Structure 1
Amino acid sequence: MSKPVSSESVATTRVDVWLWAARFFKTRSLAKQAIDGGHISVNDAGCKPARTLRVGDHLKISRGEERMEVEVLALSERRGPASVAQTLYDETESSRATREAARELHRLIGAGAPPKRPDKQARRDLRRLKHDQ
């Protein structure tokens, strides 16, 4: 089982590598695309994929509709298990509360919506209605 690299042995890491190692993105290429697209900011400033990241830096990460603010606790250039990746960062309380509220709102909005596609019984009912006219 791999452990995160301590800040003493690696002083800096590329942002795209760290985002991949911390499991925010499945590939470094996706992390790079997110950075180039302006979805990642380091210490409230835009960044490039090769920007060096240090322990204590604050990142704002946007993935789709999800927004996260995290503080870098440890650096790693190797992708390990999710349990180890979660030790690399700490999400702020305000970010966590905002994400939970958005998730709950999305759940409530989606709960009353009908299914996207009619099931077999509904299709039969629709056919009957069309043929009866």
Structure 2
Amino acid sequence: MVDRQRLDKWLWFARVVKTRTLAARLVTDGHVRLNGHRIGTPAHLVAAGDVLTIALERQVRVLRVVAPGARRESYPEAKLLFDELTSPSEPVP
């Protein structure tokens, strides 16, 4: 089993975005931080335990990577790839 995965692929597998192209654009536009550091390369590798801060259009999500994905699954299975660290009612500043 692979223990590390490309950031854009993981974002797509975890259903944070609808397409892998959007995931890559999110990263290259500077909207993703990995363990507090801005990442600009979609090919950057993520592993279990990494914390991602993702600035989406209407919210900021903080996710802890639990596992890499094997393929894109339904949302209930995709949720097993991460722990949501953002409270659901937290407003965007």
Q: One fold, TM greater than 0.5?
A: yes
Q: Which moved more, 1:14-23 or 1:75-84?
A: 75-84
Q: Which moved more, 1:15-24 or 1:72-81?
A: 72-81
Q: Are the equivalent residues in 1 in contact too, given 2:3–2:67 (CA < 8 A)?
A: no
Secondary structure of the residue that 1:87 maps to in structure 2?
Answer: helix
The 5 Å alignment of 1:32-71 reads 32-47=24-39, 48-71=41-64
Structure 2 counterpart of 1:100, from 82, 89, 92: 89
Secondary structure of the residue that 2:91 maps to in structure 1?
Answer: helix
Matched letter for residue 30 of structure 2: G
More strand by share: 2
Give me the whole-angstrom Cα distance separating, in 2, the residues matched to 1:77 and 1:31. 17
- Structure 1 residue 65: Cα displacement: 2.3
Runs of 5+ in structure 1 lacking a partner?
1-8, 104-133
Matched letter for residue 13 of structure 1: Q
More helix by share: 1
Q: Root-mean-square deviation (CA), in Å? A: 1.4
- Structure 1 residue 67: Cα displacement: 0.4
Give me the whole-angstrom Cα distance separating, in 1, the residues matched to 2:3 and 2:89. 33
TM-score (normalizing by structure 2) = 0.91
Matched letter for residue 15 of structure 1: L
The 5 Å alignment of 1:122-133 reads none
Identity of matched residues, %: 33
Runs of 5+ in structure 2 lacking a partner?
none
- Structure 1 residue 83: Cα displacement: 0.5
* Counterparts in 2 of 1:77 and 1:15: CA distance versus 1, 3 Å: farther
Secondary structure of the residue that 1:32 maps to in structure 2?
Answer: helix
Structure 2 counterpart of 1:81: 74
Give me the whole-angstrom Cα distance separating, in 2, the residues matched to 1:59 and 1:101. 16
